[in-house]
Structures are given as C-alpha cells and as structure tokens.
Structure 1
Amino acid sequence: MAVLVGSVRIDRFGPVPAAWFARQVREHAAFDVEVIDLADYDLSTTLAPSDGAAALRPRLAAADAFVVVTPEYNHSFPAGLKSAIDHYRQEWWAKPVAFVSYGGMGGGLRAVEQLRQVFAELHAVTVRDTLSFHNYWNVFDADGSLRDTETEAAAKRLLDQLTWWGVSLREARTERPYQG
C-alpha cells in the first residue's frame, strides 16, 4: 500500500496524519506500507518528463492500493497532488484509493469529493469510507498521536474495506489484465 502525502507546501501538516495512518496499516497487517511524500519528487505542472516522475512511476505501479492524505486548500485539493496524479495513468488503473483528509471545519471533505471524480476518470476505485480530521490542529498531540481512540476504529474499518478491494482487484488484474 502506498500512502501519499498530498501537500508539497513548506510547513505543511500532511506528514503527521500520513505517519499516523502508516502506523495503523502496520498494525492492521494486511499490507506492507510505503509512505510516499510527493515533496520528494520534482513533478512539473506542465507534465514534462522528469527524473522525479520517472523515479515515482515504479513505486506507484508496485502498489496494490493507495491512501491519499490531502488537505483542503480553497475548497479543493492541492495543485501538487493534481500534478502527481496527472503524470500517470496505468499506475492507477483498477486499484483502490482511500482518503485521509484534514482541514478546518470541513475537514478536507470537499477535496475528497473532487478527488473521487478525478480517480474515477483514471479507472481507479475509491473506497466509500474516509478519515477526516476537522480542525486538525486540535486532533493530534505534539508527537503525532491522536487525542481520541474512536478514529482508530474508523481507520480499521477503512483498512478492512481497502483490503477487500485491494486483494480482489489484484487477483482480477492478475487473471485478466486491465486494459483501460
């Protein structure tokens, strides 16, 4: 499973929920998890080929499932995330995508709803459940731990769904390669 840190801004919060969610994946034990920080890749908004795009391609292709950790910026998702999505096509095909969002009062949910449309166009399957952190600055401790325990139960439900989709779609892609 690839957990994508969707914000590339300086002083961003995304690595905190991404690290927390990666710990949840490890405890769930259905997938090996790799956190992919999009800030580590030079992805041109013109979609020009780059070393960063070439380096990210095999990591995305190897994943059987994705979790996109995204903030909400101006009622949408970050431009850097859109650029990262648009650089690739087949790497997303017939794979499940789940979302962990964060923001103010809306918790990033408007960004998630827009991302569902983008991933549908790329022949990816989005998982129904979402983890959303409203007023995120009040949700995590300084060490990146959650202040509540209810969210861990929600993370487990999301991971159960993602596991079902990930295993089912991997088996389907193996038996009948997806042609998009």
Structure 2
Amino acid sequence: MNPTADVSAPLHTPVSAPVKVAVIIGSNREGRFGPVVADWLLGLLRERDDYTTEVVDAADAGLPTALSYSPTPEVTAELAKITPKLAAADAIVVLTPEYNHSYPASLKALIDWHYEEWRAKPVGFVSYGGVSGGLRAVEHLRQVFAELHAVTVRDTVSFHNAGASFDDEGRHRDPAAPDAAAKVMLDQLAWWASALREAKAVRPYGS
C-alpha cells in the first residue's frame, strides 16, 4: 500500500454515456394538444447533456388494435419505423391525455405491439387534460408497464386545463412550476436508466 495515497479519493469515476430516451406522443386524435406539450418537453431535453432523444408519434404509427403473430406487410412496415427506436432506448417518456378516465387506444396499441422493448427500462409520464390533468390515465399506465417489466418513476408532470396553460405560440404562460417538475422527473429517469443499463451490462435481465 502506498502510504502517500489519498484513501479518500475514489478509485474509479465512471463516465456514463447520455441516456437515450424515446418520447412517445400517445394521442392520434384530430385536433390533439399533444404536440404542444411535446415541444415544451423536447425543449427541456435539448438543454440537457445527459439525454439524447427520439420521438415516437402514435399519429404516425398506423398500428391496428387487432394484434397478430403474423402481421401484414403494411403493419410490418409500420413497426419497422417504431420498434428500433424503442429497442435502442434506455428510457421512455410517455405523453398522454386522458380519455374517459384512461389513456387513448392509439397508445395502448403501440404498447401492445411490443414487449421486449419495454423490459427493465424506466418510464416517466407527462400527462395533460382538464381538471384531472391526465393523472388517472397515468395510474392506469403504471399497471400496464408493471406487467411489461418496466419501472415507472414516481414523479410525473401534469398539466391541468392544459389548453389555457400555453399561449398561441405554444409557450407555457408560467413555466417555472412545470419546468421544475420536469427536472425532478427527468433526473429520476436518468438515474434509473443509468443504473439499469449498467446492471444489464453485467447480467442480462431475466437470466
């Protein structure tokens, strides 16, 4: 042992690669508000050096609700645009509205057409809606992602009466609170993503 060594210094300081996050816009409804919320979130993600971002938009997916073990060539082509983004992601952020106390069918179809792509990955939520702010949709989604072996982070971002929160240019009228909430959620997501990525590098999940 070197008597002059600083025993308080860390032996190794790992350098983590940026977290690859897939941001899912869950609504495909005509006149949807989702892209406005997505633009706000993507702006925050661009300011961080610990994330790289891919967008998966349910409105562009064209996935049917009828699942099949032998999808048609058309469905296979749609999956080819989506599945690699989800497979490559270290983490997921789901943007969801609330329809009839739950989340939209377009989002459920996108989730159900995949399985391995969700396993042992953290999922964060940004929800929007009326009085409830989409929180009931998030609670339903937590159960779904638990079944798929994903880890949902505790803190979420919720926009109550979302339409009134943004101006005509898509800017939030009072961004301090939602920006702070997003930071907490994204910090938790990055921690889980890094921890799970490192764990899976040592031992694949389920082995």
TM-score, normalized by the shorter chain, greater than 0.5: yes
The answer on whether the counterparts of 1:66 and 1:97 sit within 8 Å (CA) in structure 2 is: yes
TM-score (norm 1): 0.96
What letter is aligned with 1:151? P
Instruction: Tell me the CA shift for residue 172 of structure 1.
Output: 1.2
Deviant stretches of 4+, over 3 Å? none
Superposed CA deviations along residues 45-95 of structure 1, whole A, max 9, x for unmatched, are 012321212321111000000000000000000001001000000000000
CA distance in 1, matches of 2:171, 2:112: 32
| Unaligned segments of structure 1, at least 5 residues | none
Write out per-residue CA displacement over residues 104-126 of structure 1, whole angstroms, 9 at most, x where no aligned residue. 00000000000000000000000
Question: In the TM superposition, what whole-angstrom CA distance separates every residue of 1:124-154 from its partner, at most 9, and x where no partner exists?
Answer: 0001000000000111111211111221111
* Partner residue, 1:151: 178
* Whole-Å separation in 2 of the counterparts to 1:69 and 1:157: 16
State the aligned residue count. Answer: 180
Aligned to 1:6: 26
* Cross-structure match for 1:107: 133
Paired with 2:163 and 2:81, the residues of 1 have a C-alpha distance of 33
Q: Which structure has the greater CA radius of gyration?
A: 2
Pick the aligned partner of 1:28 from 48, 60, 67.
48
* Seq. identity, %: 59
Helix, strand or coil for the counterpart of 1:68?
strand
1:164 to 187, 191, 207: 191
Gaps of 5+ in 2: 1-20
| Counterpart position of 1:19 | 39
1:74 matched to 2:100: yes
Would the aligned equivalents of 1:18 and 1:35 in 2 still touch at CA under 8 Å? no
What is the root-mean-square deviation of aligned Cα atoms in Å?
1.1
What amino acid is aligned across from residue 131 of structure 2 in structure 1?
M
Q: Distance in 2 between matches of 1:178 and 1:18?
A: 31
Choose which of 47, 58, 65 in structure 2 pairs with 1:38: 58
Match of 1:123, SS?
coil
Determine the structure 2 residue equivalent to 1:116. 142
Q: What TM-score comes out, normalization by structure 2 length?
A: 0.84
Q: Does 1:55 align with 2:75?
A: no
Q: 2:201 aligns with which of 148, 155, 174?
A: 174
Bigger drift between 32-41 and 64-73 goes to 32-41
